[in-house]
Amino acid sequence: MSQGGFMEGSLVILQVLINGLLLAGIYGVAAIGLNLIFGVLRVANIAHGDFMMLGAFIVYSLSTLGLSPLIGIPAAGGILFVLGILTERFLVEKVVYQPMAYSLLLLYAVSIIVRNAGLNLWTSNYVSLNIIPGSLQIGPLTISEIRLVVFTIAVILTAVFTFILNKTTVGKTIRASIQHPDLAGACGIDVRKVRALTFGAGTLLAGITGTFFIMLFSVNPEMGDMMILKLFAIVIVGGLGNYLGTFVGALVVAMAETFTGFYGTTQFSDVAVFSIFLLSLILRPQGLLGGRKTT
Amino acid sequence: MKTESKRASAVTSILWGSLLFMLCSFGPAESAEPIILGAAVSLTGNLARSGLDQKLGYELWKDWVNAKGGILGRKVDLKIYDDRSEPMTGAKLYEKLITSDKVDLLIGPYGSGVTAAVSTAVEKHKMVMIAPGASSKEIWERGYKYVFQMITPARYQLTSSVEIAKNSGYKTFAVINADSAFPRDLAKGALEDIKNAGLKLLLHEEYPEKANDLSSLVLKIKAEAPDVLIAGSYLPDSVLLVRQARAANLIPKMIQFGPVGPSIPDFAKSLGDLSNNLLGVSQWEPSVKYPGSPEMVAAFKKKFPNEEADYSVAAAYSSCEVIRMAVERVGGLDQGKLRQAILAMDVTTPFGRFKVGPTGDQVGHLTVLVQVLKGERVVVWPAEAAVQKIVLPFPGWK
């Protein structure tokens, strides 16, 4: 294809890299909550995408009432945190450490309930919030402002969670609960409480991610489908239970997508993503940065 | 003398009386028998909204035609069932309309899926049916003889856009589309039009309908720097494309979407200022000035003050008009003759031009162009329907 006077070859690669990095931020923040829940509870939360949807539509509903997303985002986070704790206490807690099929089915039911409640409340129409649509121009390179903001928040959230898990007492109790739930319980850690709090934190992250999605994409209450498979691929490529790994997984997946999109076609992007997923399952089933650790 | 005249007058009155009796028993009874139009539309299920619009269109037309004396001096009545948005239910109901209700004329259901199923039943009984709610081309590729299309199929929906681009002196094109049936047909049509017009295609690419990143595609388009960008898309990908085009400062001279984009209210609602000056197409808009259209819109507002007249209403209303014209030309209800009459027609209804090809597909109706100007959706083409002048070239993102 002709690049006639548009950008030098190396600059084009840089632009694709920038686009990939910004996309990785969105994927990373979406996947980290999923990984957190898996790490502590050993359940694959397939309702994660639907919790994202709730966050998105809470912010949307508040904005139709005239409230700024600066209020809407924390509100969505708070509501989802409480909802997550309730879901864990009354539902997920019953199947924790049971065979995987139990929790999968249970969370699938939760997913269906949340989605259909969403369809009833907000109809199946696509909605979106148009916030900071512009871009930074650096020479011939362009950087989407909203994606830059989301990327920055994603990096901060990852850093905060990594710090909490590694350097604080709360983090130590969580890690203890992951590594030896029985022993942790014997040492006086309220493992049930840790599980509920973790699930709450995971859904809080899902909710906040959802609020980003409605600013980046046009979504309806069925948006959970849009991402959930890719999020699992990201978590597994990076390493289950490994938070820095999730970010690396997001980076790999996003770069695969943007580079395939540019040098091949966007249609092949998902082929590339899931080929990498398969390869990593075969070659490095523990994930790029190794799994079952918290660092 | 007196008795004779009495007898004569008695004979005359008997004669007059029996004539009156004959008139009563035959003439008026014949014209009191209404012509029944039968249809099944989706009043429940996922197509309910558009199905209901279509029903409103049928009812509005019935009022109008009866007010001006019906067809061939006979009143018109409707028999409308609910197909629950299910193709099989639709087919069964049309069987019932034909064989058990014995309706005189048929009008179509809503949606390509239901129409495809229904048309098989209709064709079997050799009944004429105009389908006001089916844009698929496959329905008219099966060799059926009695089914006619009312709305512009995907293939021709961007034809006017390519022509406008050409008339504006734009020569190079990038065409992209989501990789599902309808957007693909839209784009294929545009590609053919571009080729036939001798214009230059720089890039054609498909993307997954559920893509969540189009930055690489946008970058490729930017590298090609086409005069015109044409996108066959649905709403979520349209919104994503506009956002990423804005972020990448992609500024072609014309940005054209299909029917799902600037022509639907949710597009401008989702994108705000970013939707300005983008172009979409529409089958019909309430502001068009085709003969009979403003009157139809006014009558609609009066009869259904809480509803909005959208294209489904206009297409339904006008397909009844086509049937009426055919019946009046034939002077009866013979289905074979009606078919010939419809094939030969080139008329303008409140919905626009109606002319079908030999297989019954719509070739005469043109889409109107809609542009978002200062946040408002405005018809900008064709001239006889335009509310404002089209804004070209695209002035850039705000």
**A168-222: per-residue pLDDT in tens?**
998 888 888 878 888 888 888 898 999 999 999 999 999 999 999 999 888 999 9
Put simply, whether B213 touches A (Cβ < 8 Å) is yes
Distance CA B162, CA B206 (A): 19
Same domain, B315 and B333: yes
Same domain, B276 and B176: yes
Average pLDDT, chain A: 89
For the whole model, what pTM was predicted?
0.82
For residue B110, pLDDT beyond 80: yes
CATH number at residue A85: 1.10.3470
CB neighbour class for B269 (10 Å; exposed up to 12, middle 13-18, buried from 19): middle
Average pLDDT, chain B: 91
When pLDDT is averaged across residues A86-101 and rounded to a whole number, the result is: 92
In a domain, A4, yes or no: no
Compute the C-alpha angle A205/A207/A213, nearest 5°: 105
Distance CA B304, CA B197 (A): 44
Nearest CA in chain A to B243: A133
Q: Quick one: pLDDT at residue B16? A: 64
Same domain, B376 and B259: yes
Same domain, B116 and B185: no
Rg of chain B over Cα atoms, rounded to whole angstroms, equals 26
Closest CA to A107 of A88, A79, A131: A88
- Lowest pLDDT segment from A85-89, A134-138, A242-246, B185-189: A242-246
Distance CA B138, CA B112 (A): 9
Q: CA of B293 to nearest chain A CA: how many angstroms apart?
A: 29
In a domain, B26, yes or no: no
Q: What percent of chain A has pLDDT over 90?
A: 55
**Which residue do the tokens 């089209």 mark?**
B390
Q: CB B247 to CB A1 under 8 A?
A: no
Q: Quick one: pLDDT at residue B1? A: 46
Which residues are CB-contacts of B122 (< 8 A; sequence separation ≥ 6)? B94, B98, B106, B129, B146, B147
- pLDDT category of residue B312 using cuts at 50, 70 and 90: very high
Count of domains for chain B: 2
User: Which domain covers residue B97, as residue numbers?
Assistant: 31-152+289-354
- pLDDT category of residue A294 using cuts at 50, 70 and 90: very low
Same domain, B239 and B375: yes
In a domain, A43, yes or no: yes
Q: Which two tokens stand for residue B398?
A: 């705000």
In a domain, B274, yes or no: yes
Q: CA of A105 to nearest chain B CA: how many angstroms apart?
A: 25
Q: Quick one: pLDDT at residue B259? A: 92
Same domain, B212 and B268: yes
Put simply, whether B126 touches A (Cβ < 8 Å) is no
Same domain, B234 and B298: no
In a domain, B11, yes or no: no
Same domain, B251 and B376: yes
Same domain, B103 and B240: no
Q: CB A267 to CB B214 under 8 A?
A: no
In a domain, A53, yes or no: yes
Q: Quick one: pLDDT at residue A1? A: 41
- pLDDT category of residue A4 using cuts at 50, 70 and 90: very low
- pLDDT category of residue A158 using cuts at 50, 70 and 90: confident
For residue B278, pLDDT beyond 50: yes
Same domain, B246 and B375: yes
When pLDDT is averaged across residues A5-21 and rounded to a whole number, the result is: 86
Q: Quick one: pLDDT at residue A119? A: 92
Same domain, B137 and B169: no
Nearest beta carbon to residue A16 from set B207, B219, B225? B219
Same domain, B135 and B66: yes
Count of domains for chain A: 1
Q: CB B244 to CB A144 under 8 A?
A: yes
For residue A8, pLDDT beyond 60: yes
Q: What are phi and psi of B261, to 5 degrees?
A: 170, -130
> A with B: how many residue pairs have Cβ under 8 Å apart?
126
CB neighbour class for B163 (10 Å; exposed up to 12, middle 13-18, buried from 19): middle
- The answer to whether B201 touches B229, Cβ cutoff 8 Å, is no
Nearest beta carbon to residue B223 from set A6, A134, A258? A6
User: Which domain covers residue A61, as residue numbers?
Assistant: 9-129+146-283
Q: Which residues on neighbouring strands pair with residue B197, listed in sequence order?
A: none
When pLDDT is averaged across residues B378-390 and rounded to a whole number, the result is: 89
CATH number at residue B247: 3.40.50.2300
When pLDDT is averaged across residues A46-61 and rounded to a whole number, the result is: 96
Helices B87-99 and B112-124 pack at an angle, to 10 degrees, of: 30
pLDDT digits (tens, 9 = 90+) for A98-153: 898 999 999 999 999 999 999 999 988 888 998 888 899 888 899 999 999 988 98
Q: Quick one: pLDDT at residue A58? A: 97
Q: CA of A192 to nearest chain B CA: how many angstroms apart?
A: 37
Q: B153: which DSSP letter?
A: P
